[in-house]
Structure 1
Amino acid sequence: MRRNPGLFWCTWGILCLLGTSLFAQFQTGLENFLNNSSLKNAVVGITIRDCSDGKELLNYQGQLSLRPASVAKLLPSAWALEKKGADFCYETRVFYSGGIRGQAIAGDVVIVPSGDPTPDSRYFPDSRFIRKLVSVLQEKQIHTIKGRILIQTEKEVNIPGSWLWEDISNYYGALCHDFNYRDNTYNLNFTTGAAGTPARLLSVEPEVPGIRFQNQVKAAVAGGDNAWIFGGPYSEVFYVKGTLPAHQAFFQVKGAMQQPENCFIKELTVRLAEAGIKIEGQNPEYPEREELYVYTSPCLEKIVFHTNKSSVNLFAEALGRLMAPLHYENAVKKWLAEQGIDTLGVILKDACGLSPQNAIPAETITHLLYVQRNNAAWVHSLPVAGRDGNLNVYLRHHPDLKGKLCAKTGSFSGVRCLAGYLTTASGKRLAFTLLVNNYTCPVSILYEAVGTFLSDWVKYK
């Protein structure tokens, strides 16, 4: 046996104890997966539990702390649902000062945020904070705001120290702020010509006040979006580098808003002007405030649904902040320990899994899946093979997984992870985690190997 023979033979022995037929059925599948020559440089952790009684059916290097990528989203999403409830909603309150005199607000309009990640999110097309706020002002027949539009934020912008420089200004690196808007994302709209020529930046949507974009993108013969945005929350110049496909009349590159409150105020000002409402921008001192409007987010169940189905980093970070505004790692480990789950080896630098310094043992994740197996809203948030596209890569050679594989994916360079539930042909439900780190083979080969391994377990009785 090639890799760590002691651990493999220990696993083999465990399988033997479960019965000769079970051993014969699955030891070959595990051995074939581990001996796949394309994975010889990878580090693997696999654990499987029977959801009917919690019995551990397989543990291969399940104690190793491996990078989970987006599988880490399982923790804050389950925690939030359990403690806050599926019906929990964020509330963003809007106040005005100075009273209403005639058709004018004498003072400021002040927005007090709650960390809600959903205002004007593309995942919630009916939750339009700007539209509703403009509508409320129109209903009150307001024509003038004497003061300013203010957003009351107290916290500084804190980027997790382990996030990579090439990630933090691109859309998947959108930070969670006190106030969030449009998924904290903007679009750079390009057009490209022949390969090797500069791409032309047509527009920025929405406008990002105070930021100048230095475009260094070129057209390339082949490939998709290989353009990267470099900048930070206190930068005034963002550099856009890399390549885009040649001869594209229109191509979008998505970036992360570093100061979403500024983008919101800019766009709100435009919308108010279109509605005939003027902002004079005076600085009147009216300490008393009255409530104008309360924006209520979609319920937590729906936020968690998109957190895991669409793997939205911003939503996962918001859930982490909701549950633990400070010291997320310590707080989530305490919650896990309360459920009897071993936290030794758990290292968490963020809630979404973007940090390459995160590490979780496979056995910890599988134990969580077993404990939370009846958390219906959480289980419903996991992608399903054949229904959600991000799992279809495992169906190409193994159609028997359709409808039977329900799992959260996690991936970045050299990392592919999968954790969730597998329903066997006999109707048994298994909780499993499969973490692969540092693979060097084409990802298609890895998908096929994982699909073969899981397909074998569908036959489990």
Structure 2
Amino acid sequence: MKSGWLFFFMLISMASALGQIRTAGRNLWGRDEVKHAAIGVCVKNVETGQIVYEHNPQMALRPASVVKLLSSALALKREGDSLTYTTKFFYTGEIDEGRLFGNIVIQAGGDPTLDSKYFPKACFIDSLVSKVVNLGIKRIHGNIIVETEGEPASIPGSWPWEDVANYYGALYHSFNYRDNTYTINLKSGKPGTQTKIVSVVPSVPGIKLRNEVMASVKNVNDAWIYGGPEAATLLIQGMIPANRSSFAVKGAMHHPDACFRAELEKRLKEKGVLLDKQRIEEGERHALLSLDSPFLKDIVYYTNKNSVNLFAEALGELISPTDYARTVKVELSHIGIDSCGITLKDASGLSPANAVPAEVFTDLLIWAKGHLSDAFVSSLPRGNVDWGLRVYSDHPVLRENVIAKTGSMSGVRALAGYLKNQKGETLAFTILVNNYVGDPVKVQEIIRDLLKDIADK
């Protein structure tokens, strides 16, 4: 009899806590910034699967970079932690008295990390230059050939035009270099005057830059690059702070093979190796160098921790090079997650046409906790540690207890991850807010306050 009463009181207690959270949620969603917004929330207990709180959990909403949870989790599911990409280098022809009568050939393997800033120890181009120099080559009577050069860039059709030429719009290729990113260094003078281009690193062959960036009295970073992958001229517009000797604006390197060849030629010349660029028929290939990428788990780490769109698109290619959206839905169905409400246009979340219900991410997080290695959970930003969660975790009950992937674009703030409540239970949560108005920090604070209320109960 006592056990029956205990169970009854537990149900009453749970219902009371759920009611309090629902009341708190209604109060939060009535605030000016979000009262007209589309909002989807789904919070479940990881161990039991029980719903802790939900609000439009099946409404398909723009998730922004939270969509990287799909590409990273499913790539690990399909390929495991330890997959690596391999890039191979050859020389053709013969070496005679310091002269190579042949070409340097690069066989791309899809590695997105070649000379990436996230993996500085790899030193890809340094290794290749050293190998050529150590062979005693002083002159190359041929060319540097990237086998996949000339392949058309594949741009998700829904990516905004204003994003494509900026660093976060870097496209994934068979051959990738330096995160497919270059830096334009600008010098600014007095407010209201036009800035000047100091340098472009690395150089971008065949591209002209039209600079219309102005110096501003405000401490702003509002300079953007415009132009498509095949454009011969790129336009830079906007404002940067006045009186700066060097201010970096980062662009998407749409032809990484051409940028790599130009830099390799420059580096070889600095070492006394000249390139004639003669057309030489390819003869027998001789192995020069073979480089393996970091493990997939390490690529996933930076995909989520730093929200690297290039890496996410590479993961999407692993999942399916031809039909990513359909394959994701099939994979989700296989693990028991309803995929009917999903629209996917890319693997990184840059597309504003993506739409995913909050419950999909929450159920994926629950599945990942039980079926993937620690590599997935370790890739998520941590409260009180990672900058992106500074507002979302700014409360004592949250700081050490929330790990989550953030997502943001115009009118969107999204968060999905794990929360440990005051009872020590682990909850999987997703909060998607679309079409808010006003200060985005206020929206982040609303999301934080909801998490605080949930953690307290």
TM-score (norm 2): 0.94
Maintained 8 Å contact 2:21/2:53: no
Paired position in structure 2 for 1:186: 182
- Looking at structure 2, the residues matched to 431 and 98 of structure 1 have their Cα atoms a distance apart, in angstroms, of 59
Per-residue deviation, residues 396-448 of structure 1 (Å, max 9, x unmatched): 4x232111010000001100000000011221100010000000021121122
2:235 to 220, 235, 239: 239
- Looking at structure 1, the residues matched to 51 and 15 of structure 2 have their Cα atoms a distance apart, in angstroms, of 16
Maintained 8 Å contact 2:227/2:235: yes
Task: Give the residue type in structure 1 aligned to 2:158.
Answer: S
Maintained 8 Å contact 1:417/1:434: yes
Task: Give the residue type in structure 1 aligned to 2:76.
Answer: L
Task: Give the residue type in structure 2 aligned to 1:194.
Answer: K
1:274 to 270, 273, 283: 270
The Cα shift of 1:459 comes to 2.1
Identify unmatched segments of 5+ residues in structure 2: 1-9
Paired position in structure 2 for 1:9: none
Paired position in structure 1 for 2:408: 411
Paired position in structure 1 for 2:286: 290
Look up the SS of the partner of 1:202 in the other structure.
strand
Paired position in structure 2 for 1:3: none
Task: Give the residue type in structure 2 aligned to 1:428.
Answer: E
The Cα shift of 1:221 comes to 1.6
Paired position in structure 2 for 1:76: 71
The Cα shift of 1:387 comes to 0.9
Paired position in structure 1 for 2:382: 384
* 2:161 is aligned with 1:165: yes
Maintained 8 Å contact 1:44/1:437: yes
**CA pair 320-252 structure 1, distance change in 2 beyond 3 A:** same
The Cα shift of 1:138 comes to 2.2
The Cα shift of 1:112 comes to 1.1
**CA pair 18-76 structure 1, distance change in 2 beyond 3 A:** farther
* 2:360 is aligned with 1:364: yes
Look up the SS of the partner of 1:383 in the other structure.
coil
- Looking at structure 2, the residues matched to 64 and 255 of structure 1 have their Cα atoms a distance apart, in angstroms, of 35
Maintained 8 Å contact 1:308/1:408: yes
2:350 to 349, 354, 358: 354
* 2:203 is aligned with 1:207: yes
The Cα shift of 1:17 comes to 8.3
Aligned pairs (5 A) from 1:196-345: 196-345=192-341
The Cα shift of 1:92 comes to 0.7
Cα-Cα RMSD = 1.6
The Cα shift of 1:18 comes to 8.0
* 2:114 is aligned with 1:114: no
Identify unmatched segments of 5+ residues in structure 1: 1-14
* 2:426 is aligned with 1:429: yes
Maintained 8 Å contact 1:16/1:23: no
* 2:144 is aligned with 1:146: no
Q: How many aligned positions are there?
A: 445
The Cα shift of 1:155 comes to 3.3
Per-residue deviation, residues 371-395 of structure 1 (Å, max 9, x unmatched): 0014210110000000111101123
Paired position in structure 1 for 2:392: 394
2:58 to 51, 57, 63: 63
Look up the SS of the partner of 2:52 in the other structure.
strand
TM-score (norm 1): 0.93
- Looking at structure 2, the residues matched to 86 and 182 of structure 1 have their Cα atoms a distance apart, in angstroms, of 23
The Cα shift of 1:16 comes to 8.2
Which deviates further from its counterpart, 174-183 or 54-63? 54-63
Paired position in structure 2 for 1:27: 22
Which deviates further from its counterpart, 353-362 or 94-103? 94-103
Task: Give the residue type in structure 2 aligned to 1:410.
Answer: G
- Looking at structure 2, the residues matched to 71 and 19 of structure 1 have their Cα atoms a distance apart, in angstroms, of 30
- Work out the percentage of aligned pairs sharing the same amino acid: 45
Which deviates further from its counterpart, 155-164 or 355-364? 155-164
Paired position in structure 2 for 1:96: 91
- Looking at structure 1, the residues matched to 147 and 311 of structure 2 have their Cα atoms a distance apart, in angstroms, of 21
- Looking at structure 2, the residues matched to 228 and 88 of structure 1 have their Cα atoms a distance apart, in angstroms, of 36
* 2:170 is aligned with 1:174: yes
- Looking at structure 2, the residues matched to 277 and 200 of structure 1 have their Cα atoms a distance apart, in angstroms, of 33
Maintained 8 Å contact 2:18/2:52: no
- Looking at structure 1, the residues matched to 189 and 405 of structure 2 have their Cα atoms a distance apart, in angstroms, of 39
The Cα shift of 1:99 comes to 3.5
Maintained 8 Å contact 1:16/1:22: no
Task: Give the residue type in structure 2 aligned to 1:385.
Answer: G
**CA pair 68-17 structure 1, distance change in 2 beyond 3 A:** farther
**CA pair 323-103 structure 1, distance change in 2 beyond 3 A:** farther
* 2:451 is aligned with 1:450: no
Maintained 8 Å contact 1:99/1:290: no
- Looking at structure 2, the residues matched to 282 and 16 of structure 1 have their Cα atoms a distance apart, in angstroms, of 81
Per-residue deviation, residues 106-160 of structure 1 (Å, max 9, x unmatched): 2111111122110111111111210011112223222222211000116311111
Look up the SS of the partner of 1:147 in the other structure.
coil
Task: Give the residue type in structure 2 aligned to 1:57.
Answer: V
